[in-house]
Amino acid sequence: MKIRSYKKDSDYSYTYGAFATIELLKLRPSQVLRVFVHSDYKDSDNPAKLCEANAVELVLDDRVFKRLGHKENIYVLGVFSKYKSALSPLRPHVVLVNPMDMGNLGTIMRILAGFNILDLAIITPAADYFNPKTIRASMGALFNLEIELFPSFEIYREKFFSHDLYPFMLDGEIELGKDPAPKSSLYSLIFGNEATGLPSYFKGIGTSVKLRQSNLVDSLNLSVAVGIGAYLFTIVGD
């Protein structure tokens, strides 16, 4: 298998670093094609045991790491087949409308796994969630989640019509932090992208909410907003 720099249209991707690669081996072993280890890596027993248990080839090859030309030190690399997954109709969702920053997207994946929200809908166009930069930012949390792409919010809404919808907007009708989060067993928390937030027509969809904040900033970072929203809906009041 010839290892090349990642391309969005490739049918495989990479995990950069030991932690994300180990998460891949634990959570999606059937998708793993090969694992590479650098000769400078001092803790190779853990990935080696997981590779052996899952019949995954482990290769010691420093040239692969040079070929990919990373500026930071990376000593473990996982190669895996991209896969499709589908959201559960029986669990809460987070919906991201046109997220464009891979670092934010990966951080959000880690946040969602931390609050046990395991279904993520992404409305396209959007950042590539299989890009190694996204996976690295997620610390491998990507592999805990079911992620489904939708070409429009309307198509998502038609498929999951039973979910209560909560778009997060600067002028939302419920102010979280002052008012308690609405209690619903089946909900979708909806967030816009980093630059523009949600379009105004989302105000008429479901029950709009906003996060209580000072007037010193115009809005919160997307991953911060998702983290606060996920916390308020899953932890506070339980």
Along the 238 residues of the chain, how does pLDDT read in single tens digits? 677 889 999 999 999 999 999 999 999 999 999 999 999 888 767 899 999 999 999 999 988 888 876 666 889 999 999 999 999 999 999 999 999 999 999 999 999 999 999 999 999 999 999 999 999 999 999 999 999 999 999 999 999 999 999 999 988 898 987 878 888 889 999 999 988 889 999 999 999 999 887 777 777 789 999 999 999 999 854 4
pTM of the full structure? 0.92
CA angle 110, 43, 116 (to 5 degrees): 20
* Helical ranges in 28-165 per DSSP H: 45-53, 62-68, 102-114, 132-138, 153-159
CB-side exposure of 201: number of CA atoms within 13 Å? Answer: 3
Token pair belonging to 145: 């989640």
Residue 221 CA, distance from chain mean position: 16
Domains of the chain are 12-81 (3.30.1330.30), 93-234 (3.40.1280.10)
